[in-house]
Chains A and B, each alone.
Chain A
Amino acid sequence: MLTKRQTRAFFYASSGIFALIFLGLTVDAHRQVPTLTNEANNTPEVIAGKHVWHRKNCVNCHTLLGEGAYYAPDLTKITQQRGSAYLTAFLKDPTKFYSEERDRRIMPNQNLSDLEIRQVIAFLDWVSKINTQGWPPRPILVSGSATPGTEALAGPPRPAASNDPIALGQALFRTTTPGCFTCHSTTAGVTLVGPSLGNIATIAAQRIKDPNYHGKATDAASYIRESIADTSAYIVPGGSFSAGGTSFMPPGFGTSLTAQQIDELVAYLSTLR
């Protein structure tokens, strides 16, 4: 049987060895962090945004890189799901976008200045590009669904929380007939039936410069408007989206929706960058 002397030696040796290994690995990890986190882009604006993040105690409701509290959505990739226009409008007044009655909770208004909003969005954008070893393996969404067929589980469509055109458009996205959401995900890279609209505003701005584009749109907003009203004005490449030059998207939205409703949809979709 072991003696006390031997067990003491075991304690000192094992603690010492593993502490040394840990310190050694830390030196190496610390050395690699600048590359893995794109340290060059950690600008003063991003750092100022990090201070906003800490000062407002964000981490005690939200998770970031999956760390924090579990009372509010993870924000690791939020800037890749919502553009800065949306996030700015949201931070100015969260009650315009979500309803406390429905979700049982809502973000209190943090009364951020325009500058602070810009900074914290810059910070979140920098975080969203950190090399996280592939985490999360599937997009973590704030609301809605990324998986075909599961929208129904999410419950009835949410009414718009305010008269803001973006909020109205977001609500309309789920209430049109047929519902936009049944074919289009708003998550980049997730294709349901039609093309993903995850970053449609960015794609639209590029597409109108594409030599294969022959429509009438002159900017991202007018492209989005055209693709709703005249579904075959431009055909997105991909066998499952069209046949014989005709888009599979139902053509009736130009007449079934009012001009104002289309404006609202365009306002909402333009925030998806």
Chain B
Amino acid sequence: MRHRTQGVAYAYFVVALLLYGLQMVFGLLAISKYLGPDPIRDWLPFDRVKAIHTNLLIVWVLTGFMGATYWVVPEESRGELYSPKLAYWSLGLWTAAGVTAVVGYLFGWTEGNKLLEQPFPVKIAIVVVMLLFLYNIGMTIRKAGRLTTTEGVLVAGLALAAILYLPALVTFNNYTLSIYYRWWTVHLWVEGVWEMIQASLLAYLLIRLSGADREVMEKWLYVIVGLTFIAGILGTAHHYYWIGVPGYWLPIGGIFSALEPLAFFGMAVYAYSAIRRSGIAHPNRLALHWAIGSAIFSAFGAGILGLAHTWPSVNQWTHGTMITPMHGHMAFFGAYVMIVLAVITYALPQYFDYPEEHRESAAGLWAFWLQVSGMFGMTMAFAAAGITQTYLERILGIGYLDTQRKMQVHYLMLVGAGILFVLGVALYLYDFFVVAPRPVRADTRRHSTADIRAAEA
């Protein structure tokens, strides 16, 4: 650690990863309900499991983003964090709000608005934590008097994410309007400002890992986020095709959604060329796996698989089928899960001041490859299910229930791939909590890398 207060990030990573593990439990439960019959449907029906699965994802990824920011900002600004205490308190409030929401869902306490199910008091707590977080980060940068482009984009992404959450606090009597503004939060997060966060974390990691020139990396970072917004803002229209709004959103959505892969391909090319030009300048290859993986997987999952169903004449058949989770799972994993895991993997040895080479543990590598192949298999299973559903239910006009019975084989495949994925997550947690070195005595942390190597030899 270059700065003592960066250590705050560790607490955030612990919470994030525990929630990631919990998310897997609910993912497996959800898919088991697709196979059915469901003996526990009366006290834990699918809707609650699904809401918990998606909400845990949002909460832990945001926890990871905040942790990553607490890690990156002191380093970029070259100063200590304004208030570590405030950071710990807001993590406490954040975790309490998150856990309250999850327990609430178990008992049916929900606003029942997809992805924004959080009951109103929880929403307020989320806003408060976001404000505390932004205040803490803002003051850190102000105190240090140095703002790099990388951290600027990162913090702007998080600030915009907080602002875009505000429409979620408003209730509309017209269902069409409530859907319309719901997408301001959901779409403009994941296909807008969260991409800023992903791109800036990627830039940070590439600068650190590849020795690429900061000026060049930050120059192209602007281009990537510029492309993100050109396509992403009006790309919101692909959610506005059939919901009771004017028809002009159809061509707008078709054209601008088709541009959305550009930013993701930009990121993949960005990562590739950084490594190609500058080589690998850092021993933490495991972190590099996750960083490059994020760039490639998001190009495929968010870019190509998104484009696969955003053209209006395609979407009229695929809208509301299993094609959507096909895209959703790989996009979220590639763009946001992998980048958070990349930062965690990168930060951990430095937090414990441990030799970086030791991070390429067998468990760590297996965790990476199992998650990558598990997610690939799940995406293929969702795709097969989605194509089956589109043709049988939507084009041939066979009833939903009869079509679902034809899709059981794809759900079996989903279970298989899902188990591989969950094994990968379990190994990641094992690697983080057990394999990853930690100081035995309080003073070990002050040992230099060389000391530990000498002691081991």
Interface residues of A (CB under 8 A from B): 2-4, 7-8, 10-11, 14-15, 18-19, 21-22, 25-26, 28-30, 32-34, 36-37, 39, 42, 47, 50, 53-61, 63-74, 98, 100-106, 108-109, 123, 127, 130-147, 150, 153-155, 187, 190
A21 to chain B, nearest CB (A): 7
Interface centre among A15, A47, A72, A187 (most CB of B within 10 A): A15
Q: Is A15 within 8 A of B229, CB to CB?
A: yes
Q: Which residues of B contact A (CB under 8 A)?
A: 33-38, 41-42, 45-48, 50-51, 108, 110-114, 117, 149, 173-177, 179-180, 215, 218-220, 222-223, 225-227, 229-230, 233-234, 236, 239-250, 252, 316-317, 319-322, 324-325, 392-402, 404-406, 408
The reply to whether A147 and B234 contact each other, CB–CB distance below 8 Å, is no
19 A-B contact pairs sorted by A residue (CB < 8 Å): A4-B218, A4-B219, A10-B222, A18-B229, A25-B248, A25-B249, A30-B177, A32-B246, A37-B175, A42-B173, A60-B47, A61-B46, A67-B243, A100-B37, A105-B36, A123-B175, A136-B242, A142-B400, A147-B397
Q: What's the minimum C-beta distance from B362 to chain A, rounded to whole angstroms?
A: 37
Task: Provide the residues of chain A in CB contact with B324, threshold 8 Å.
Answer: 70
Q: Shortest beta-carbon distance, B224 to chain A, in Å?
A: 9
Q: In the complex, how many residue pairs between chain A and chain B have their CB atoms under 8 Å apart? A: 251
Name B's interface SS.
helix
The answer to whether A50 and B240 have CB atoms under 8 Å apart is: no
Contact A147 B396 (CB under 8 A): yes
| B226 CB contacts on chain A under 8 angstroms | 7, 10-11, 14-15
List the A side residues contacting B402 at CB < 8 Å.
Answer: 143-145, 153-155
B404 and A103 form a contact (CB under 8 A): yes
Residue of B nearest to A61 (CB): B47
Report which of B51, B215, B246, B406 forms a contact with A36, defined as CB distance below 8 A: B246
CA distance A190 to B398 in the complex (A): 13
- Residue among A15, A21, A133 with max Cβ neighbours from chain B (10 Å): A133
**Roughly how many angstroms separate A18 CA and B261 CA in the complex, as a whole number?**
17
| Residue contact A67 to B114, C-beta cutoff 8 Å | yes
Q: Tell me whether A150 and B396 are in contact (CB under 8 A).
A: yes
Q: Name B256's closest neighbour in chain A (CB-CB).
A: A18
Told that A54-B111, A146-B397 touch, could you supply 19 new A-B pairs with CB distance under 8 A? A3-B219, A7-B223, A8-B149, A14-B230, A18-B229, A19-B233, A36-B245, A61-B50, A66-B242, A70-B324, A103-B36, A104-B35, A132-B243, A132-B244, A141-B398, A142-B399, A144-B399, A153-B402, A154-B402
